[in-house]
Amino acid sequence: MVTREFIPPRRLLLGPGPSQVHPRVLRAMSAPVIGHLDPAFLAMMNDVQSLLRNTFQTGNRFTIAISGTGSAGMEAAIVNAVEPGETVLVGVNGIFGTRLVEVTERCGGKAIRLEAPWGSAIDPQAVEQVLRRSGPVKAIAMVQAETSTGCWQPLEAIAQLAKQHDALLIVDAVTSLGGIPVDVDAAGIDICYSATQKCLSCPPGLAPFTISERALAAVTRRRTRCQSWYLDMKLVAEYWTEGTRTYHHTAPISMLYALREALRLVEEEGLPARFARHHLNSNALLTGLLELGLPPLAQPGQRLPMLNCVTVPDVIPEAEVRARLLNRYGIEIGGGLGPLKGKVWRIGLMGESSTEAHVLRLLNALEELFIEGGWLTTPGLAVGAASRIYSRANP
Protein backbone atom coordinates (compact mmCIF):
# COMPACT_ATOMS: atom_id res chain seq x y z
CA MET A 1 0.00 0.00 0.00
CA VAL A 2 1.39 3.39 -1.01
CA THR A 3 1.47 6.06 1.67
CA ARG A 4 -0.76 8.94 0.67
CA GLU A 5 0.31 12.56 0.48
CA PHE A 6 -0.06 14.42 3.78
CA ILE A 7 -2.31 17.46 3.48
CA PRO A 8 -2.31 19.44 6.75
CA PRO A 9 -5.68 20.68 8.02
CA ARG A 10 -6.22 24.43 7.91
CA ARG A 11 -5.62 25.90 11.35
CA LEU A 12 -5.50 29.33 12.93
CA LEU A 13 -2.44 29.11 15.16
CA LEU A 14 -3.09 31.14 18.32
CA GLY A 15 -1.11 29.00 20.73
CA PRO A 16 2.34 29.52 22.27
CA GLY A 17 4.00 28.63 18.98
CA PRO A 18 4.34 28.06 16.13
CA SER A 19 2.57 31.10 14.77
CA GLN A 20 0.97 31.79 11.39
CA VAL A 21 3.46 31.98 8.51
CA HIS A 22 3.23 34.66 5.83
CA PRO A 23 2.76 33.38 2.24
CA ARG A 24 5.98 35.16 1.23
CA VAL A 25 7.92 33.08 3.75
CA LEU A 26 6.36 29.85 2.51
CA ARG A 27 7.16 30.88 -1.06
CA ALA A 28 10.78 31.58 -0.13
CA MET A 29 11.09 28.09 1.35
CA SER A 30 10.08 26.57 -1.98
CA ALA A 31 12.95 28.22 -3.90
CA PRO A 32 15.48 25.85 -5.50
CA VAL A 33 18.13 24.49 -3.16
CA ILE A 34 21.73 25.50 -3.81
CA GLY A 35 24.87 24.40 -2.02
CA HIS A 36 25.58 25.63 1.49
CA LEU A 37 29.02 26.87 0.32
CA ASP A 38 27.73 28.41 -2.91
CA PRO A 39 28.87 32.06 -3.14
CA ALA A 40 25.26 33.15 -3.66
CA PHE A 41 24.19 31.32 -0.52
CA LEU A 42 27.05 32.79 1.51
CA ALA A 43 26.01 36.26 0.36
CA MET A 44 22.45 35.46 1.44
CA MET A 45 23.79 34.46 4.89
CA ASN A 46 25.31 37.95 5.14
CA ASP A 47 21.84 39.38 4.52
CA VAL A 48 20.45 37.23 7.34
CA GLN A 49 23.12 38.51 9.71
CA SER A 50 22.39 42.14 8.83
CA LEU A 51 18.64 41.66 9.21
CA LEU A 52 19.09 39.88 12.54
CA ARG A 53 21.21 42.76 13.84
CA ASN A 54 18.33 45.09 13.00
CA THR A 55 15.82 42.88 14.81
CA PHE A 56 18.04 42.33 17.86
CA GLN A 57 18.99 46.04 17.75
CA THR A 58 22.68 45.26 18.04
CA GLY A 59 25.96 45.93 16.31
CA ASN A 60 27.40 42.59 17.42
CA ARG A 61 29.45 41.14 14.57
CA PHE A 62 28.71 37.64 15.85
CA THR A 63 24.99 37.56 15.09
CA ILE A 64 23.87 34.38 13.36
CA ALA A 65 21.10 31.81 13.05
CA ILE A 66 22.01 28.52 14.74
CA SER A 67 20.89 25.40 12.90
CA GLY A 68 18.39 24.14 15.47
CA THR A 69 15.35 25.27 17.41
CA GLY A 70 15.27 27.71 20.31
CA SER A 71 16.38 24.94 22.63
CA ALA A 72 19.60 24.71 20.60
CA GLY A 73 20.04 28.44 21.18
CA MET A 74 19.64 27.93 24.93
CA GLU A 75 22.19 25.13 24.99
CA ALA A 76 24.62 27.09 22.82
CA ALA A 77 24.45 30.04 25.20
CA ILE A 78 25.19 27.95 28.27
CA VAL A 79 27.73 25.46 26.92
CA ASN A 80 29.84 28.23 25.38
CA ALA A 81 29.73 30.66 28.30
CA VAL A 82 29.94 28.24 31.23
CA GLU A 83 32.76 25.87 32.10
CA PRO A 84 32.49 23.00 34.59
CA GLY A 85 32.42 24.31 38.14
CA GLU A 86 31.39 27.85 37.21
CA THR A 87 28.29 29.42 38.74
CA VAL A 88 25.23 30.82 36.98
CA LEU A 89 22.46 32.73 38.73
CA VAL A 90 19.22 31.72 37.00
CA GLY A 91 15.90 33.49 37.35
CA VAL A 92 13.20 30.84 37.66
CA ASN A 93 9.58 31.92 37.33
CA GLY A 94 8.37 29.36 34.83
CA ILE A 95 9.23 26.30 32.76
CA PHE A 96 12.02 27.86 30.74
CA GLY A 97 13.91 29.26 33.70
CA THR A 98 13.77 25.73 35.09
CA ARG A 99 15.19 24.43 31.81
CA LEU A 100 18.08 26.91 32.00
CA VAL A 101 18.95 25.43 35.40
CA GLU A 102 18.97 21.90 33.96
CA VAL A 103 21.13 22.85 30.97
CA THR A 104 23.61 24.60 33.29
CA GLU A 105 23.88 21.57 35.55
CA ARG A 106 24.16 19.13 32.63
CA CYS A 107 27.26 20.96 31.36
CA GLY A 108 28.90 20.84 34.78
CA GLY A 109 27.99 24.32 35.97
CA LYS A 110 26.51 25.23 39.32
CA ALA A 111 23.09 26.86 39.10
CA ILE A 112 21.78 29.20 41.78
CA ARG A 113 17.99 29.23 41.44
CA LEU A 114 16.40 32.61 42.18
CA GLU A 115 12.70 31.85 42.21
CA ALA A 116 9.62 34.02 41.89
CA PRO A 117 5.97 32.96 41.76
CA TRP A 118 4.90 31.81 38.31
CA GLY A 119 3.41 34.84 36.61
CA SER A 120 5.63 37.34 38.48
CA ALA A 121 8.88 38.92 37.31
CA ILE A 122 12.21 38.41 39.08
CA ASP A 123 12.93 41.32 41.46
CA PRO A 124 16.29 43.02 40.75
CA GLN A 125 16.72 43.62 44.49
CA ALA A 126 16.53 39.87 45.04
CA VAL A 127 19.18 39.42 42.33
CA GLU A 128 21.42 41.91 44.12
CA GLN A 129 20.99 40.15 47.45
CA VAL A 130 21.96 36.79 45.95
CA LEU A 131 25.00 38.29 44.22
CA ARG A 132 26.22 39.82 47.47
CA ARG A 133 26.24 36.52 49.33
CA SER A 134 27.01 34.03 46.54
CA GLY A 135 30.52 35.03 45.60
CA PRO A 136 31.60 35.36 41.94
CA VAL A 137 29.19 34.17 39.26
CA LYS A 138 30.10 33.62 35.63
CA ALA A 139 26.69 34.63 34.31
CA ILE A 140 23.16 35.72 35.11
CA ALA A 141 20.52 34.00 32.97
CA MET A 142 17.02 35.42 32.57
CA VAL A 143 13.98 34.62 30.44
CA GLN A 144 12.67 37.89 29.03
CA ALA A 145 9.37 36.40 27.86
CA GLU A 146 8.34 33.38 29.94
CA THR A 147 6.14 31.44 27.53
CA SER A 148 4.66 29.25 30.26
CA THR A 149 3.16 32.20 32.17
CA GLY A 150 2.95 35.23 29.88
CA CYS A 151 5.27 37.21 32.16
CA TRP A 152 7.53 39.99 30.82
CA GLN A 153 10.87 40.27 32.65
CA PRO A 154 12.42 43.78 32.77
CA LEU A 155 16.17 43.57 32.13
CA GLU A 156 17.76 46.98 32.58
CA ALA A 157 18.40 46.87 36.34
CA ILE A 158 19.60 43.27 36.16
CA ALA A 159 21.98 44.18 33.33
CA GLN A 160 23.51 46.87 35.53
CA LEU A 161 24.01 44.35 38.31
CA ALA A 162 25.67 41.95 35.87
CA LYS A 163 28.18 44.62 34.89
CA GLN A 164 28.86 45.60 38.50
CA HIS A 165 29.62 41.97 39.38
CA ASP A 166 31.56 41.22 36.17
CA ALA A 167 29.02 38.60 35.12
CA LEU A 168 27.72 37.89 31.64
CA LEU A 169 24.01 38.49 31.05
CA ILE A 170 22.35 35.66 29.12
CA VAL A 171 18.79 36.33 27.91
CA ASP A 172 16.18 33.96 26.54
CA ALA A 173 14.28 35.97 23.91
CA VAL A 174 12.63 32.98 22.25
CA THR A 175 9.14 34.46 22.47
CA SER A 176 10.04 38.16 22.64
CA LEU A 177 12.18 38.82 19.55
CA GLY A 178 10.09 40.75 17.05
CA GLY A 179 7.19 41.22 19.48
CA ILE A 180 8.58 43.53 22.16
CA PRO A 181 11.86 45.47 22.35
CA VAL A 182 14.87 43.26 23.01
CA ASP A 183 17.43 46.06 22.39
CA VAL A 184 20.50 43.92 22.97
CA ASP A 185 23.03 46.77 22.97
CA ALA A 186 20.98 49.32 24.90
CA ALA A 187 19.97 46.75 27.52
CA GLY A 188 23.52 45.48 27.98
CA ILE A 189 22.81 41.86 27.02
CA ASP A 190 25.89 39.71 26.40
CA ILE A 191 24.32 36.57 24.91
CA CYS A 192 20.81 36.46 23.51
CA TYR A 193 19.03 33.67 21.70
CA SER A 194 15.60 33.30 20.15
CA ALA A 195 13.60 31.05 17.82
CA THR A 196 12.04 31.53 14.43
CA GLN A 197 8.52 30.15 15.04
CA LYS A 198 7.25 32.76 17.48
CA CYS A 199 7.08 36.50 16.70
CA LEU A 200 9.22 36.14 13.57
CA SER A 201 6.46 33.94 12.07
CA CYS A 202 8.83 31.57 10.38
CA PRO A 203 8.66 27.76 10.61
CA PRO A 204 10.67 26.27 13.49
CA GLY A 205 14.22 25.13 12.86
CA LEU A 206 16.60 28.05 13.47
CA ALA A 207 17.73 29.90 16.60
CA PRO A 208 18.72 33.55 16.10
CA PHE A 209 21.75 34.12 18.30
CA THR A 210 23.94 37.11 19.13
CA ILE A 211 26.96 37.47 21.39
CA SER A 212 28.82 40.59 22.54
CA GLU A 213 32.55 41.18 22.21
CA ARG A 214 32.84 40.87 25.99
CA ALA A 215 31.20 37.47 25.92
CA LEU A 216 33.26 36.38 22.90
CA ALA A 217 36.41 37.22 24.84
CA ALA A 218 35.19 35.06 27.72
CA VAL A 219 34.50 32.18 25.34
CA THR A 220 37.98 32.56 23.82
CA ARG A 221 39.58 32.41 27.29
CA ARG A 222 37.98 29.06 28.15
CA ARG A 223 40.30 26.62 29.92
CA THR A 224 38.29 23.64 28.69
CA ARG A 225 36.75 22.76 25.34
CA CYS A 226 33.10 23.51 24.76
CA GLN A 227 31.02 20.51 25.83
CA SER A 228 29.32 20.40 22.42
CA TRP A 229 31.09 20.10 19.08
CA TYR A 230 27.97 21.01 17.09
CA LEU A 231 27.20 24.10 19.19
CA ASP A 232 30.80 25.27 19.70
CA MET A 233 30.49 28.87 18.57
CA LYS A 234 34.22 29.15 17.87
CA LEU A 235 33.76 26.47 15.20
CA VAL A 236 30.40 27.74 13.96
CA ALA A 237 31.89 31.24 13.65
CA GLU A 238 34.33 29.99 11.03
CA TYR A 239 31.37 29.07 8.80
CA TRP A 240 29.37 32.24 9.37
CA THR A 241 32.23 34.76 9.41
CA GLU A 242 32.75 36.51 6.10
CA GLY A 243 36.17 35.74 4.64
CA THR A 244 36.69 32.39 6.41
CA ARG A 245 33.62 30.31 5.51
CA THR A 246 35.13 27.03 6.72
CA TYR A 247 32.75 24.07 6.47
CA HIS A 248 31.28 23.10 9.84
CA HIS A 249 27.90 21.55 9.04
CA THR A 250 25.36 21.58 6.24
CA ALA A 251 23.09 24.52 6.92
CA PRO A 252 19.29 24.11 6.59
CA ILE A 253 19.27 25.98 3.31
CA SER A 254 15.53 26.35 2.77
CA MET A 255 15.01 27.44 6.38
CA LEU A 256 17.53 30.24 5.91
CA TYR A 257 15.68 31.35 2.78
CA ALA A 258 12.54 31.50 4.93
CA LEU A 259 14.19 33.39 7.77
CA ARG A 260 15.61 35.99 5.41
CA GLU A 261 12.13 36.68 4.04
CA ALA A 262 10.55 36.75 7.51
CA LEU A 263 13.15 39.29 8.64
CA ARG A 264 12.49 41.38 5.53
CA LEU A 265 8.85 41.54 6.62
CA VAL A 266 9.96 42.74 10.06
CA GLU A 267 12.17 45.38 8.44
CA GLU A 268 9.38 46.57 6.14
CA GLU A 269 6.87 46.95 8.96
CA GLY A 270 9.38 48.62 11.28
CA LEU A 271 9.96 47.58 14.87
CA PRO A 272 7.98 50.42 16.55
CA ALA A 273 4.89 49.70 14.40
CA ARG A 274 5.27 45.97 14.99
CA PHE A 275 5.46 46.41 18.76
CA ALA A 276 2.44 48.74 18.71
CA ARG A 277 0.43 46.17 16.73
CA HIS A 278 1.16 43.46 19.29
CA HIS A 279 0.15 45.74 22.16
CA LEU A 280 -3.11 46.81 20.52
CA ASN A 281 -4.24 43.28 19.71
CA SER A 282 -3.31 42.01 23.18
CA ASN A 283 -5.26 44.85 24.80
CA ALA A 284 -8.34 44.04 22.70
CA LEU A 285 -8.06 40.32 23.41
CA LEU A 286 -7.62 40.67 27.17
CA THR A 287 -10.49 43.17 27.35
CA GLY A 288 -12.75 40.67 25.61
CA LEU A 289 -11.55 37.72 27.71
CA LEU A 290 -12.32 39.62 30.92
CA GLU A 291 -15.96 39.73 29.79
CA LEU A 292 -15.81 35.93 29.72
CA GLY A 293 -14.40 35.75 33.25
CA LEU A 294 -10.84 34.94 32.12
CA PRO A 295 -8.39 37.26 33.92
CA PRO A 296 -4.66 37.51 33.04
CA LEU A 297 -2.24 35.54 35.19
CA ALA A 298 0.59 38.10 35.14
CA GLN A 299 0.35 41.40 36.96
CA PRO A 300 -0.20 44.75 35.16
CA GLY A 301 3.06 46.02 33.75
CA GLN A 302 4.46 42.48 33.52
CA ARG A 303 2.17 41.05 30.82
CA LEU A 304 3.48 39.96 27.45
CA PRO A 305 1.44 41.32 24.54
CA MET A 306 2.24 38.35 22.30
CA LEU A 307 1.63 35.53 24.81
CA ASN A 308 -1.57 36.12 26.75
CA CYS A 309 -1.89 33.73 29.69
CA VAL A 310 -5.33 33.78 31.35
CA THR A 311 -6.74 31.90 34.34
CA VAL A 312 -9.60 29.51 33.55
CA PRO A 313 -12.25 29.03 36.29
CA ASP A 314 -12.59 25.51 37.68
CA VAL A 315 -16.18 25.27 36.39
CA ILE A 316 -14.92 25.35 32.79
CA PRO A 317 -13.40 22.09 31.43
CA GLU A 318 -10.49 23.87 29.83
CA ALA A 319 -9.04 20.94 27.85
CA GLU A 320 -12.48 20.07 26.47
CA VAL A 321 -13.09 23.65 25.35
CA ARG A 322 -9.67 23.81 23.69
CA ALA A 323 -10.43 20.58 21.85
CA ARG A 324 -13.75 22.00 20.60
CA LEU A 325 -12.00 25.17 19.46
CA LEU A 326 -9.61 23.08 17.41
CA ASN A 327 -12.04 20.52 16.02
CA ARG A 328 -15.01 22.79 15.35
CA TYR A 329 -13.40 26.14 14.57
CA GLY A 330 -9.87 25.16 13.54
CA ILE A 331 -8.35 27.43 16.19
CA GLU A 332 -5.39 26.29 18.28
CA ILE A 333 -4.66 27.76 21.72
CA GLY A 334 -2.39 26.34 24.40
CA GLY A 335 -3.00 24.90 27.84
CA GLY A 336 -0.89 25.27 30.94
CA LEU A 337 2.45 23.62 31.71
CA GLY A 338 3.77 22.21 34.97
CA PRO A 339 1.84 23.49 38.02
CA LEU A 340 -0.39 25.55 35.71
CA LYS A 341 -1.64 22.53 33.76
CA GLY A 342 -5.42 22.57 33.65
CA LYS A 343 -5.54 26.08 35.15
CA VAL A 344 -4.67 28.50 32.35
CA TRP A 345 -4.91 29.10 28.64
CA ARG A 346 -1.95 30.46 26.71
CA ILE A 347 -3.11 32.47 23.71
CA GLY A 348 -0.44 33.55 21.26
CA LEU A 349 -0.77 36.72 19.21
CA MET A 350 2.67 36.45 17.69
CA GLY A 351 3.83 37.95 14.43
CA GLU A 352 1.38 37.06 11.64
CA SER A 353 -1.06 35.67 14.24
CA SER A 354 -1.47 39.12 15.80
CA THR A 355 -4.34 40.70 13.85
CA GLU A 356 -7.73 42.22 14.66
CA ALA A 357 -9.47 39.59 12.55
CA HIS A 358 -7.86 36.76 14.50
CA VAL A 359 -8.73 38.30 17.87
CA LEU A 360 -12.39 38.75 16.93
CA ARG A 361 -12.62 35.29 15.39
CA LEU A 362 -11.31 33.69 18.58
CA LEU A 363 -13.59 35.72 20.87
CA ASN A 364 -16.61 34.93 18.73
CA ALA A 365 -15.84 31.20 18.88
CA LEU A 366 -15.33 31.33 22.65
CA GLU A 367 -18.62 33.17 23.12
CA GLU A 368 -20.47 30.46 21.20
CA LEU A 369 -18.82 27.70 23.24
CA PHE A 370 -19.43 29.51 26.54
CA ILE A 371 -23.12 30.03 25.74
CA GLU A 372 -23.36 26.37 24.77
CA GLY A 373 -21.73 25.36 28.05
CA GLY A 374 -23.89 27.64 30.16
CA TRP A 375 -21.01 29.87 31.29
CA LEU A 376 -22.28 32.93 29.37
CA THR A 377 -25.81 34.14 28.79
CA THR A 378 -25.41 37.36 26.80
CA PRO A 379 -23.86 37.03 23.33
CA GLY A 380 -21.58 39.72 21.96
CA LEU A 381 -20.03 40.85 25.24
CA ALA A 382 -16.45 39.81 24.46
CA VAL A 383 -16.52 40.74 20.79
CA GLY A 384 -18.14 44.07 21.59
CA ALA A 385 -15.57 44.94 24.26
CA ALA A 386 -12.68 44.14 21.93
CA SER A 387 -14.29 46.02 19.05
CA ARG A 388 -14.51 49.15 21.18
CA ILE A 389 -10.76 48.97 21.80
CA TYR A 390 -10.17 48.87 18.05
CA SER A 391 -12.63 51.70 17.43
CA ARG A 392 -10.84 53.96 19.88
CA ALA A 393 -7.45 53.06 18.35
CA ASN A 394 -8.68 53.72 14.80
CA PRO A 395 -11.24 56.55 15.03
346 labelled ligand-binding: yes
Residue type, 67: S
Report the alpha-carbon distance of residue 383 to residue 387 in Å, rounded.
Answer: 6
In contact, 169 and 158? CB cutoff 8 Å = yes
Pairing of strands 331-332, 12-13: parallel
Contacts of 169 (CB under 8 A, 6+ apart): 139, 140, 142, 155, 158, 159, 162, 188, 189, 190, 191
Q: What angle do CA 317, 357, 376 make, to 5 degrees?
A: 35
User: How many other C-beta atoms are found inside a 10 Å radius of the C-beta of residue 129?
Assistant: 12
Maximum CA extent, the chain? 67
How does DSSP classify residue 166?
T
**Distance of alpha carbon 88 from its chain centroid, rounded?**
21
Rounded Cα distance between 375 and 368, Å, is 10
Distance separating alpha carbons of residues 311 and 318, to the nearest angstrom: 10
**Residues 135 and 87 sit within 8 Å (Cβ to Cβ):** yes
Count the alpha carbons within 13 Å of 253 in the hemisphere toward its beta carbon: 14
> Is the Cβ–Cβ distance between 48 and 259 less than 8 Å?
yes
DSSP H helices in the chain: 23-29, 39-56, 70-81, 95-106, 124-134, 156-164, 184-187, 213-220, 233-240, 253-269, 271-291, 318-324, 356-373, 381-393
CA angle 177, 173, 351 (to 5 degrees): 30
Which positions make up the binding site? 346
| Binding-site residues from annotation for substrate | 346
